[in-house]
């Protein structure tokens, strides 16, 4: 299934995306479907063009992984890590797939990171790698928006990674049974139509199964939690000369089989 959340009457509704329509669901929220409720239709199909897609789920926890592609570690001048580098995205980062992302006044080096997002489906606590994917509900596209100057200058990455709206995601969650192999997805990012990132998730240092297992040994992962799995090479800070996002820029992240998100950067 392709599970989305959309807004109507100024509240969120869950839906199933079928073709170019969304079928509203009777459930209260997408999290109910992620936890295992049957996706029962609760209304007539609505053209996708007539709704605003929201973040498909509002995770209880959003974890992110630093340096999970060798070429990205190299472009940022760092060694590939021996263990996954975990950090968090605060709730205020959650953003609809169309954004926008407000360019904060406290950074001059705003950057994009196209990433594969993993949505947990069943509580995962201390799960072995071999069983980790059984705890995954599905996959989605994420832009792990980053303030490079704050990331470099500050020992904690809260400001660098958790600015308001710094996590556009969606456009929906493709369930694991339909998404295919998470280690064989093409991931591409464009800025203003210029292709910047073009990699396959087969190049990850730590696989999705390894990341879920690793994180589950830190604390229990709950249904709806999201792990965004690190960005490949091609970010703005890795270019020569470096190129950062400005108000008016448009970022598009597309992952094969999962769809695409596209959001603008806007002035504060
Ligand atoms: Mg990232």
In the beta sheet, which residues pair with residue 168?
A: 95
Per-residue pLDDT at 171: 98
Residues lying with their CB under 5 A of ligand 1, a single-atom ion: 113, 144, 231
Q: How many CA atoms lie within 13 A of 59 on its CB side?
A: 33
Q: Comparing 209 with 74, which gets the higher pLDDT?
A: 209
Which class is 2-54 in CATH? Answer: mainly beta
Please name the fold of domain 62-266.
Fumarylacetoacetate hydrolase; domain 2 (3.90.850)
Q: What is the mean pLDDT of residues 14-21?
A: 98
Check whether 9 has a pLDDT greater than 90: no
106 CA → ligand 1 middle, Å:
19
181 CA → ligand 1 middle, Å:
21
Q: What is the mean pLDDT of residues 134-157?
A: 98
40 CA → ligand 1 middle, Å:
35
d(CA 190, CA 215): 30
Per-residue pLDDT at 206: 98
Residue ranges per domain, the chain? Answer: 2-54, 62-266
Q: pLDDT, tens digit, for every residue of 209-237?
A: 999 999 999 999 999 999 999 999 999 99
Going by their DSSP bridges, the two strands 146-147 and 46-47 should be labelled as unpaired
43 CA → ligand 1 middle, Å:
37
For residue 209, give Cα distances in angstroms to 62, 127, 181, 225.
17, 10, 11, 15
52 CA → ligand 1 middle, Å:
26
Per-residue pLDDT at 175: 98
Q: pLDDT, tens digit, for every residue of 177-202?
A: 999 999 999 999 999 999 999 999 99
In the beta sheet, which residues pair with residue 237?
A: none
Q: Comparing 62 with 77, which gets the higher pLDDT?
A: 62
Task: Tell me the pLDDT of the chain averaged across its residues.
Answer: 97
Check whether 76 has a pLDDT greater than 90: no
d(CA 8, CA 10): 5
Closest by CA position to 229, among listed 252, 251, 253? 253
């Amino acid at each position: 299934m392709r599970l989305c959340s959309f807004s109507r009457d100024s509240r969120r509704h869950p839906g199933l995306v079928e073709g170019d329509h969304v079928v509203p669901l009777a459930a209260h929220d997408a999290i109910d479907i992620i936890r295992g409720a049957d996706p029962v239709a609760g209304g007539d199909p609505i053209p996708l063009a007539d709704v605003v897609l929201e973040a498909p789920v509002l995770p209880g926890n959003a974890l992110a992984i630093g340096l999970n592609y060798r070429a990205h570690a190299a472009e940022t001048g760092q060694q590939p890590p021996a263990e996954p580098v975990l950090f968090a995205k605060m709730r205020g980062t959650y953003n609809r797939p169309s954004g926008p992302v407000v360019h904060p006044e406290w950074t001059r080096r705003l950057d994009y990171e196209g990433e594969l997002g993993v949505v947990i489906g069943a509580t995962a606590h201390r799960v072995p790698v071999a069983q980790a994917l059984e705890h995954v509900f599905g996959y989605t596209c994420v832009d792990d928006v980053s303030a490079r100057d704050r990331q470099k200058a500050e020992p904690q990455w809260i400001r660098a990674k958790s600015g308001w709206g710094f996590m556009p995601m969606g456009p929906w969650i493709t369930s694991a049974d339909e998404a295919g192999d998470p280690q064989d997805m093409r991931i591409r990012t464009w800025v203003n139509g210029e292709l910047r990132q073009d990699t396959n998730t087969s190049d990850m240092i730590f696989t999705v199964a390894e990341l879920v297992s690793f994180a589950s040994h830190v604390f229990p992962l709950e249904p709806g939690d999201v792990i965004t799995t690190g960005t490949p090479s091609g970010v703005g800070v890795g270019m020569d000369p470096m190129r950062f996002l400005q108000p008016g820029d448009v970022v598009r992240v597309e992952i094969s089989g999962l769809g695409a998100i596209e959001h603008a950067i806007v002035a504060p």
